[in-house]
Amino acid sequence: MSRVYNFSAGPAVLPEVVLRQAAAEMLDYQGTGMSVMEMSHRSKPFASIIETAEADLRELMAIPDNYKVLFLQGGATQQFAAIPMNLMQNKVADYIVSGSWSKKAFKEAKLYGDARCIASSEDGNFSYVPNLDNLEISPDADYVYICQNETIYGTRYPKLPDTQGKPLVSDVSSMFLSEPMNVADYGLIYGGVQKNIGPAGVVIVIVRDDLVMEDVLPFTPSIMRYSTQVAAKSLSNTPPAYGIYICGLVFKWLKEMGGLSAMQQRNQEKAAILYDYLDSSRLFKATARKEDRSLMNVPFVTGDAELDALFVAEAKNHNIESIKGHRSVGGMRASIYNAMPKEGVEALVAYMAEFEKIHG
């Protein structure tokens, strides 16, 4: 068996120890005589899996007691709709558009009310996070929305916007659990898990309890109401049970690795290896503004589309997979999530240096 260095933006690399444990427990989960995949979501063993997962996530992120944790389906994209449906009591929301994902969320919110784009970096091809000083927050906004780490363009908010007391809603899909966050700064944090936490099919929503309301937009499907899912403890219908189990294993792994501060340090070290090389290279160039660079997604180009294509094509020979940039921007992108070992980043930089010697 040989494993590659998988730089995919998501679904993405998972910790090998987690995959091994899942494999070992595949046929008989802890003496139950069945796989977690085969188990009733109302059974005692599954209750323990989801309760332990929530407790471990609460511990890792130091989630205050007045926040609810939900494990849902529908991906991050479904939350683009669920958020306005649940939170737009005044039918006004402010969106900061820093890339494709916040743009999509903004567009979706417009279906349900007066969503306003209060800052955008589209004019600079989303290579930076919009200026957050002097934002014109709408006095009647129900919330202010950001995508805190933009997976495609490789930017990350260097600081949070001052929302003037409005709840801050953040899509953290591509930076989930990569560093500590102060949950109390947010009204709602959410993300798909298929980048940093588990397999596709689970989205985690962390929502302050005063934002879990009965008084939602009237057409909101029951299944998409946070109040329904809070009351049912994410078990309103059959949850993505196997995915939640893997998330739980990853939470245990993160605790063993020393928690989120340790992860942040590791991620900073890994990202520095790549950015330092990019900053010194005469061939490759990072595309995001320096102050706003993501620790998780690193897009870069040579400036020559043919050379980019050659770099991507030859990467396989170096055990490097899924290094191609998103189809909307081209070039290359290295996603270096929690589970990407430092050796993987070093292998990538070694290949880049070799390529530069020949083509630079």
* Positions that interact with ligand PMP (CB under 6 A): 10, 75-77, 101, 147, 151, 171, 173-174, 192
Which residue's CB is nearer to ligand PMP, number 204 or number 352? 204
Burial class of 17 by CB neighbour count within 10 A (0 to 12, 13 to 18, 19+): middle
Single-letter amino acid, residue 224: M
Residue with the closest Cβ to ligand PMP?
75
**Which SS3 state, helix, strand or coil, does residue 268 take?**
helix
Answer yes or no: is 52 a known binding residue.
no
User: Among this protein's residues, is 279 annotated catalytic?
Assistant: no
Asked whether 155 and 294 are in contact (CB, 8 A), the reply is: yes
Which residue's CB is nearer to ligand PMP, number 96 or number 147? 147
Phi, psi of 118 (to 5 degrees): -100, -10
Burial 142-174 (b: 16+ CB within 10 A, else e): bbbbbbbbbbbbbbbbeebbebeebbbbbbbbb
User: Rounded to the nearest whole angstrom, what is the least distance from the CB of residue 83 to ligand PMP in the complex?
Assistant: 12
Separation CA 195–CA 174 (nearest Å)? 6
User: Rounded to the nearest whole angstrom, what is the least distance from the CB of residue 293 to ligand PMP in the complex?
Assistant: 16
Residue from 56, 94, 171, 308 carrying the catalytic annotation: 171
Answer yes or no: is 194 a known binding residue.
yes
User: Rounded to the nearest whole angstrom, what is the least distance from the CB of residue 174 to ligand PMP in the complex?
Assistant: 5
Answer yes or no: is 171 a known binding residue.
yes
CB atoms within 10 A of CB 327: 7
Single-letter amino acid, residue 161: P
Which residue's CB is nearer to ligand PMP, number 39 or number 146? 146
Answer yes or no: is 238 a known binding residue.
yes
User: Rounded to the nearest whole angstrom, what is the least distance from the CB of residue 338 to ligand PMP in the complex?
Assistant: 15
CB atoms within 10 A of CB 20: 11
Residue from 103, 166, 195, 324 carrying the catalytic annotation: 195
User: Among this protein's residues, is 253 annotated catalytic?
Assistant: no
Which residue's CB is nearer to ligand PMP, number 172 or number 271? 172
Structure tokens at 358: 């020949």
List the catalytic residues: 101, 171, 195
Residue ranges of the annotated binding site for L-glutamate are 42
Residue ranges of the annotated binding site are 42, 76-77, 101, 151, 171, 194, 237-238
Residue ranges of the annotated binding site for pyridoxal 5'-phosphate are 76-77, 101, 151, 171, 194, 237-238
